[in-house]
Structure 1
Amino acid sequence: MLYTKKALQMGAIAVGLAAFAGQSSLAESAKKEDSKPSVKTETMQVMPELTMASHFVGVPYNRSGVSVSIIKPEEFQKAGIETLTGALSQTPGVFTLDGGGTWQRGSVSNTVIRGMNKETYTLTMVDGMRISDANMSGNKLLGITNLFTVGNAEVVKGAQGAVFGSGAIGGVVAMDTPEGEGEPVTRIFAEAGSFGSFNSYVTSSGKIKKLSYFVGVGFETTENDPSIYPAIYDNRTGMNDFRQWQEAVRLGYDVNDKVKVNFTYRRLDSYFEYPTPYVVYS
Structure 2
Amino acid sequence: MSKLKISYAITLLLLSNYVIADDKIEKISVHGIEYQTEGTYNNVALGSDVTIISQEMIVQAGSVDINKILTQFVPGLFANGRAGRHTDTDYSLQGSRPKDILWLIDGNRLNNRLYGSTYTDTINPMMIERIEVIKGGQGAIYGSDAIAGVINIITKQYQGHDQGEVSLSADSLPSYDAGAFVNAEVGDFQYTLSASSSQSEGYQLWPDEEYSPTAALDKERGYQMNNFSGKLRWQPNKSHSVSIFTQLNKGKLERPLAYNAILSENDREQQLSYLDWQYQASEQLLLQTKVHYQEWDSHYSEITKDKQGNTEIAYWNSYWGFTDIGATISANYLTDTGSQLLTGVEFQQYDGADEVMEFVAVKDDNYAAFVQYQPTFNALPDTALSLSARFNRISDSDQHWVGSLGITHLLNQKWQLRGSIANGYRQPTAEESQSQVGTLGNPDLESETSQNINLGVTFQGEANITFDAFWRNIDNLIEATDLGNAVWQYNNVAGDVTSFGADFHLVTDLTEALEFELSAGYANAERQDTGEQISRVPEFTGFSMLNYHTSDELNFWLSGKYVGKFLDYGLTAGDYVIASLGAQYWLTSDLNQQVSFTIDNLFDSEVTQSIFKHGHRAEYPIASMGAPRTLQLQYRYLF
* Shared fold (TM-score, shorter chain, > 0.5): yes
CA distance, structure 1, for counterparts of residue 164 and residue 211 of structure 2: 42
Q: Tell me which amino acid in the other structure corresponds to 2:76.
A: G
Q: Tell me which amino acid in the other structure corresponds to 1:271.
A: K
Give 1:93's aligned residue: 76
Indicate how the Cα distance of structure 1 residues 137 and 190 shifts in structure 2: closer, same or farther if over 3 A, else same. farther
Counterpart of 2:69 in 1: which secondary structure?
helix
Does the 8 Å CA contact 1:83/1:145 hold for their aligned counterparts? no
How many positions carry a matched residue from both structures? Answer: 230
Give 1:14's aligned residue: none
Is 1:113 the counterpart of 2:97? The answer is no
CA distance, structure 1, for counterparts of residue 38 and residue 182 of structure 2: 23
Give 2:189's aligned residue: 211
Counterpart of 2:237 in 1: which secondary structure?
coil
CA distance, structure 1, for counterparts of residue 141 and residue 40 of structure 2: 11
Q: Comparing both structures, which one devotes a greater share of its residues to strand?
A: 2
Pick aligned residue for 2:165 from 187, 191, 195: 187
Does the 8 Å CA contact 2:232/2:244 hold for their aligned counterparts? yes
CA distance, structure 1, for counterparts of residue 123 and residue 50 of structure 2: 21
Does the 8 Å CA contact 2:61/2:68 hold for their aligned counterparts? no
After TM superposition, the score normalised by the length of structure 2 is 0.33
Does the 8 Å CA contact 1:161/1:170 hold for their aligned counterparts? no
Is 1:242 the counterpart of 2:237? The answer is no
Q: CA deviation at 1:74?
A: 3.0
Does the 8 Å CA contact 2:203/2:220 hold for their aligned counterparts? no
Structure 2: unaligned runs, 5 residues or longer: 1-25, 258-611, 621-639
Q: Is the radius of gyration larger for structure 1 or structure 2?
A: 1
Give 1:176's aligned residue: 154
Where does 1:1-282 land on structure 2 (aligned, <5 Å)? 48-50=28-30, 56-59=40-43, 61=45, 64-90=46-72, 91-97=74-80, 100-102=81-83, 104-118=84-98, 120-134=99-113, 138-140=117-119, 142-160=120-138, 162-230=140-208, 231-232=210-211, 235-237=216-218, 239-276=220-257, 277-278=612-613, 280=619
Q: Tell me which amino acid in the other structure corresponds to 1:108.
A: D
CA distance, structure 2, for counterparts of residue 96 and residue 267 of structure 1: 24
Counterpart of 1:195 in 2: which secondary structure?
coil
Give 2:274's aligned residue: none
Does the 8 Å CA contact 2:205/2:221 hold for their aligned counterparts? no
Indicate how the Cα distance of structure 1 residues 253 and 144 shifts in structure 2: closer, same or farther if over 3 A, else same. closer
CA distance, structure 2, for counterparts of residue 268 and residue 117 of structure 1: 26
Indicate how the Cα distance of structure 1 residues 238 and 208 shifts in structure 2: closer, same or farther if over 3 A, else same. farther
Q: CA deviation at 1:82?
A: 2.4
CA distance, structure 2, for counterparts of residue 220 and residue 273 of structure 1: 14
CA distance, structure 1, for counterparts of residue 115 and residue 166 of structure 2: 28
Give 1:3's aligned residue: none
Indicate how the Cα distance of structure 1 residues 161 and 84 shifts in structure 2: closer, same or farther if over 3 A, else same. farther
Indicate how the Cα distance of structure 1 residues 238 and 210 shifts in structure 2: closer, same or farther if over 3 A, else same. farther
Q: Tell me which amino acid in the other structure corresponds to 2:75.
A: P
CA distance, structure 2, for counterparts of residue 137 and residue 190 of structure 1: 33
Name the % identity: 20
Q: CA deviation at 1:169?
A: 1.5
Q: CA deviation at 1:268?
A: 1.5
CA distance, structure 2, for counterparts of residue 186 and residue 55 of structure 1: 22
Q: CA deviation at 1:55?
A: 5.7
Q: CA deviation at 1:143?
A: 4.0
CA distance, structure 1, for counterparts of residue 64 and residue 146 of structure 2: 26
Does the 8 Å CA contact 1:113/1:171 hold for their aligned counterparts? yes
Counterpart of 2:155 in 1: which secondary structure?
coil
Q: CA RMSD in A?
A: 3.0
Q: Deviations over 1:159-189 (max 9, x none)?
A: 1454211211211111132102233223211
Indicate how the Cα distance of structure 1 residues 252 and 48 shifts in structure 2: closer, same or farther if over 3 A, else same. same
Q: CA deviation at 1:269?
A: 1.4
Q: Tell me which amino acid in the other structure corresponds to 1:237.
A: D
Q: CA deviation at 1:132?
A: 3.1
Does the 8 Å CA contact 1:158/1:170 hold for their aligned counterparts? yes
Q: Deviations over 1:76-113 (max 9, x none)?
A: 2134232221111021221112xx123x1111221111
Q: CA deviation at 1:222?
A: 0.5
Does the 8 Å CA contact 1:107/1:144 hold for their aligned counterparts? no
Does the 8 Å CA contact 1:185/1:205 hold for their aligned counterparts? yes
Counterpart of 1:148 in 2: which secondary structure?
helix
Q: CA deviation at 1:272?
A: 1.7
Counterpart of 1:248 in 2: which secondary structure?
strand
CA distance, structure 2, for counterparts of residue 49 and residue 167 of structure 1: 30
Q: CA deviation at 1:144?
A: 4.7
Does the 8 Å CA contact 2:235/2:242 hold for their aligned counterparts? yes
Does the 8 Å CA contact 2:204/2:219 hold for their aligned counterparts? no
CA distance, structure 1, for counterparts of residue 127 and residue 151 of structure 2: 15
Q: CA deviation at 1:243?
A: 0.9
CA distance, structure 1, for counterparts of residue 250 and residue 165 of structure 2: 22
CA distance, structure 1, for counterparts of residue 118 and residue 205 of structure 2: 24
Q: Tell me which amino acid in the other structure corresponds to 2:127.
A: T
Q: CA deviation at 1:265?
A: 0.8
Indicate how the Cα distance of structure 1 residues 189 and 243 shifts in structure 2: closer, same or farther if over 3 A, else same. same
Q: Tell me which amino acid in the other structure corresponds to 1:166.
A: S
